[in-house]
Structures are given as structure tokens and as C-alpha cells.
């Protein structure tokens, strides 16, 4: 495929590397600051040759990027996080322009398998009243959002499958936690690519599920696979739609 990259920070560079390894051509790099950029802003000339675009840009610009890219009739993969209160607006834009669009809080195939493992674990532990559940995540000191989009997705999965938890607390607690509250903490520091831990704890023992990214390669590979998957499609998709096909062996 001929791919356009929107945002060329650390993730954009890793996406470019993985895409080239898989035989794709990078025909556009849109970034206002990167020396390697072929354009500073999205317009018809910048994305003229691109069949699909992968966005790992900034939270502040993602909705504008979606509007401009969709107007140019380019299918789109969005890995930028933190913009999800605007999902309804993005869905309308995609429908109006008739493009294919897939987004995720985390495109790592391993993380998306982890989501399913956590869901099954929460269901299994739900009836065991002796166990409480918690979560925490660690990321590098350059990450722009906290908690991570992945943490929010995990928290939602737990609340949906662990009936004793009704709401999520991401901030610090200066009080006793309520029985119906799930505490999900965030830590920022160093160069940690991304670690997420879910714990089920009782007086007798403790069970922990952990996903630890070794590098950005897993996130980048998932985004490139999603771009391959969205080729020829129209509609608004979440990562689960892509993963369902991947796990059933429908993705080539």
C-alpha cells in the first residue's frame, strides 16, 4: 500500500519502519516540525498519493486531522489517544465522507488479546466475594495523557464484567475507597514503553495479570495491520472489529 503518516514523532517513525518491512511505501509524512516531513499540514497535495493514512499525532490536532483526511476520501487509522469524547463527531464525519476508519486506544495485538484475557478473568472472579480488584499503569515521562487510553479501556472492561465495581477512580485517594469503586493508578517516569497490571487480591492470595510492552514495535505493527485491514472498507470501526477478523485468521 501507499501510506501517509500524520505525525512523525517516535511512534510515527516506528510505524514507518514496520510499514517498509512489510513492503509498503511511505508516500507522505505530515508533521509541522519533523525534518523528514513532506508537508506541514494536511491538504490535497500532501496526501495525493496516499491510499490510507495512519495518525499518531497530538491530542490537540486529531479531530482536525480526521476532518481534513476524511474530506480527501482517504481511509484512516487513528492511534492518537485521549480524544474519545469526540467519537460521536468522528463517526458523523466518517459517515458523511464515506471512508473507512478504525481507531484504538492501543493497536498492539498483544494488548488487545490482553483485553480479552482480563474480561474473562473478571467474569471468573466476579462471584468470589473475597477478592477485590485494582489496576495500575506505567509509561514514559513524555506521554501526554494520564491515565492512558489503554488503562481506561481496561477499567471499562472490569466495570462491565465485575459487578461489585460501579465507577472508576483515577486520581489519588485521600480517604478510604468505597466498595463499588475501582482504583486505577498511573505512574509517569523514565522510558517505560507501557506496562498495565490488573490485580485480584484476597486475604489468602493474590492474582496479577500483566502486559508489558518491550518497545513501540507492537503498537506500530498493529497500526500497520489495521491499515491493511481497512483497505477497501467503508465505515466506522473499533479495534475489536479488526481483532475479531485477525483472531479468526481472516487477515492476510
Catalytic residues: 139, 143
CB 71 within 8 A of CB 97: yes
d(CA 152, CA 156): 6
CB 28 within 8 A of CB 46: yes
47 phi and psi, to 5 degrees? -110, 15
d(CA 1, CA 197): 36
CB 52 within 8 A of CB 1: yes
Write out the DSSP string of 163-178. TT--EEE-S--SSPPP
d(CA 50, CA 28): 7
- Selection from 15, 3, 2 nearest residue 223 by Cα: 15
Amino acid at each position: 500500500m501507499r501510506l501517509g503518516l500524520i505525525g512523525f514523532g517516535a511512534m510515527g517513525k516506528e510505524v514507518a519502519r514496520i510499514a517498509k518491512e512489510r513492503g509498503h511505501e511511505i508516500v507522505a509524512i505530515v508533521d509541522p516540525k519533523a525534518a523528514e516531513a513532506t508537508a506541514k499540514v494536511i491538504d490535497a497535495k500532501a496526501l495525493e498519493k496516499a491510499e490510507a493514512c495512519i495518525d499518531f499525532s497530538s491530542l490537540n490536532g486529531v479531530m482536525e486531522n480526521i476532518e481534513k483526511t476524511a474530506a480527501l476520501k482517504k481511509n484512516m487509522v487513528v492511534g492518537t489517544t485521549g480524544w474519545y469524547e469526540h467519537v460521536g463527531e468522528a463517526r458523523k464525519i466518517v459517515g458523511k465522507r464515506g471512508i473507512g476508519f478504525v481507531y484504538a486506544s492501543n493497536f498492539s495485538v498483544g494488548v488487545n488479546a490482553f483485553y480479552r484475557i482480563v474480561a474473562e478473568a473478571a467474569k471468573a472472579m466476579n462471584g468470589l466475594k473475597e477478592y477485590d480488584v485494582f489496576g495500575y499503569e506505567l509509561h514514559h515521562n513524555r506521554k501526554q495523557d494520564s491515565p492512558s487510553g489503554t488503562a481506561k479501556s481496561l477499567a471499562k472492561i472490569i466495570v462491565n464484567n465485575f459487578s461489585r465495581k460501579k465507577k472508576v477512580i483515577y486520581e489519588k485517594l485521600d480517604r478510604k475507597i468505597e466498595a463499588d469503586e475501582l482504583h486505577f493508578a498511573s505512574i509517569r517516569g523514565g522510558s517505560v514503553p507501557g506496562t498495565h497490571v490488573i490485580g485480584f487480591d484476597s486475604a489468602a492470595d493474590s492474582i496479577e495479570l500483566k502486559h508489558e510492552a518491550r518497545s513501540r514495535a507492537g503498537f506500530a505493527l498493529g497500526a500497520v495491520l489495521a491499515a491493511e485491514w481497512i483497505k477497501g472498507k467503508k465505515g466506522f470501526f473499533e479495534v475489536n472489529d479488526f481483532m475479531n477478523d485477525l483472531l479468526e485468521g481472516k487477515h492476510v
